[in-house]
Amino acid sequence: MYIFQDKATGAVLYIGEAHSQDLKQRITQNFAPNDTGGTFRKDWCDKEKKEFTQFKEALQHWLIRAILIETESKDLIRAIEETFISELKPKYNKFVGRPSVG
């Protein structure tokens, strides 16, 4: 899992899930100017009605935190991500509702 957080306020902006083999890829997708799956970048640009260059400028005000949870269960990771989103209510995550465990 990874979390984008505002440096000044500590507010959680976005929570994403990634598996250890693609954590770097998932985070770096947000830094690519073309759409390579950077969900936070896309959601931020859409909601703020800003361009990628403005997103890159905003990055200097954010922290990226990685949380390593060692498990083979993708369902567990998704459930943890949904719980974090449900509790922290990040501004740029689209999830609304209660977490569900499959």
pLDDT digits (tens, 9 = 90+) for 33-56: 776 667 888 889 999 999 989 998
Q: Which helix (H) or strand (E) holds 30?
A: none
pLDDT score, position 100: 44
pLDDT score, position 20: 63
Q: How many CA atoms lie within 13 A of 15 on its CB side?
A: 21
Under DSSP, is residue 14 helix (H, G, I), strand (E, B) or coil?
strand
